[in-house]
Chains A and B, each alone.
Chain A
């Protein structure tokens, strides 16, 4: 299984063969409460690291999703359009949002490992 990296804004990315799968952490999904809408980018959109990639609405708030890495969107999780609750049920697996073709894998150094992220959550 590919290793996961996390941002301080609670996004994750799993990297495999130049492609990064992106979603939000279980912690973030829990904090947001029931998610009611996920606004996904168009395929072909390019983003820089930590730029806005998507948006998510819950019963509590609307939030931006920031891209953990720079890249170009190659696939989006269409299932979320009709069933955003998948993000609540499985934020770090079936609730993935976007695949990007990664521009620069060295940007991973700006992200946290699973262990570092767990420690980070304890400080919040």
Chain B
């Protein structure tokens, strides 16, 4: 396929403007004028439409195919949610921040307030801020809240460490380190959860927080979670819940009920909002009562008359973490998602997500190594260890899946599983879809034994073949055309 610039023909136009019959405006100063014409592609309107339509047909998305990317919860984004966000699109975000402005946007403020209340209910927290703009931003906010909590108790200098399991998302130690803490990593035990004995040894009064993902990145729910919380609290360390895997436990377990003090929620993972292409995200943060004084401002509060107000004179606050109130459009979609499904619906989401993952795990475990062979939650982690004996790596299986029309699962994460293949089907997939995917995974496993070259050569059916990832990473050459 040609670049749009390669289709360019000098003088060709999509639109021809009529000759201007009004006098030119005052000329711009010379130093602001372009010396040469911009190097734009010169194409007809139809050339342009065809080019971008054809490009868009090469997109892979949940709207076209199954997308079992583990740990990322690539959840279907219901079209009704787009409509919900559209209802608010003509509203100016400054309105609420102008003096007396809150009065004119009660609906929007009410939506944020209610969403906070619903998320607090789902997670077992006392209050939620919707400001953070993504999951990692939520983590950073959460750790800053924890730091503020310890500082307010006069323990700023004393609290030096944050404990994370080695199965954690990389953002956990990164958030802790950026907030100024040293990270202590606790290994995973053979049963797939953080080693409780090593955890006890790692804990002391200088630990500020324990960050956990539960279920963890192996898709396993930690049965010792209450005990871990109790030990942490015994050292006045707070429990941080990475909400990346909340999809597995909605309506079943409230993190706040098992001792977590702070949580971030990835709305794009659990509440049906889109994963942006680096675009708008949302990572609301919930806290227990003791941390409310430190929440970002302005907080949306409700007065006795049911009016929503902005409160921004709290001296303990860590300050603003985002402009306005976070990415409002994302909030509107998550709000609609929760309202549409209701309590029973959210419970069914988690049940179906867990059932689907276990179905895949059981049907594929004869073909792929399953390092932690136990009931999983919303995702399952295989290893391509068996295939490696034939010279086939996880990446080759991933490329083979592309040839068969599937987005590959996550590979090489979590880091503690060699040649990891991490599959998360989510709740919206039918048994027929899962079966079709399973058949292709079995085909890949059999091909690894009988014709490994087929996997090493894949993909063959895509616009470009196997890309040289090493060369791309080593010899970066990023530039603008024109």
Chain A residues engaging chain B, CB cutoff 8 angstroms: 34, 36-37, 57, 59-62, 84-85
Contacts and interface: CB of A to CB of B under 8 A. Distances in A.
A85 B474 contact: yes
B473 interface: yes
A61 B474 CA distance: 14
A48 B109 CA distance: 52
Given A60-B412, A61-B415, A62-B170, 12 more contacts: A34-B469, A34-B470, A34-B474, A36-B470, A36-B474, A37-B473, A59-B469, A59-B470, A59-B473, A61-B412, A84-B474, A85-B474
Contacts of A62: 170
Contacts of B469: 34, 59
19 contacts: A34-B469, A34-B470, A34-B473, A34-B474, A36-B470, A36-B473, A36-B474, A37-B473, A37-B474, A57-B473, A59-B469, A59-B470, A59-B473, A60-B412, A61-B412, A61-B415, A62-B170, A84-B474, A85-B474
Contacts of B412: 60-61
Contacts of B470: 34, 36, 59
Contacts of A85: 474
Among the interface residues B412, B469, B473, which one has the most CB atoms of the partner chain A within 10 A?
B473
B466 to A, nearest CB: 13
Nearest to A63: B415
| SS of B interface (majority) | helix
A18 B152 CA distance: 46
Interface of B: 170, 412, 415, 469-470, 473-474
A57 B412 CA distance: 13
A65 to B, nearest CB: 15
Contacts of B474: 34, 36-37, 84-85
Among the interface residues B412, B415, B469, B474, which one has the most CB atoms of the partner chain A within 10 A?
B474
A85 B473 CA distance: 11
Nearest first, the 8 closest Cβ-Cβ pairs linking A and B are A36-B473, A34-B470, A60-B412, A59-B469, A36-B474, A59-B470, A61-B415, A59-B473
Nearest to B473: A36
Contacts of A84: 474
Contacts of A37: 473-474
A50 to B, nearest CB: 12
A34 B475 CA distance: 13
Nearest to B394: A60
Contacts of A36: 470, 473-474
Nearest to B413: A61
A75 to B, nearest CB: 23
A84 B469 CA distance: 14
Nearest to B173: A64
Nearest to A83: B474
Among the interface residues A36, A61, A84, which one has the most CB atoms of the partner chain B within 10 A?
A36
A36 B473 CA distance: 6
A6 B470 CA distance: 28
Contacts of B170: 62
Contacts of B473: 34, 36-37, 57, 59
A96 to B, nearest CB: 19
A62 B170 CA distance: 9
Contacts of A59: 469-470, 473
A5 B449 CA distance: 39
A37 B332 CA distance: 41
A59 B470 CA distance: 6
A49 B66 CA distance: 48
Nearest to B177: A52
A77 to B, nearest CB: 16
Contacts of A34: 469-470, 473-474
A59 to B, nearest CB: 5
A36 B468 CA distance: 12
A57 to B, nearest CB: 8
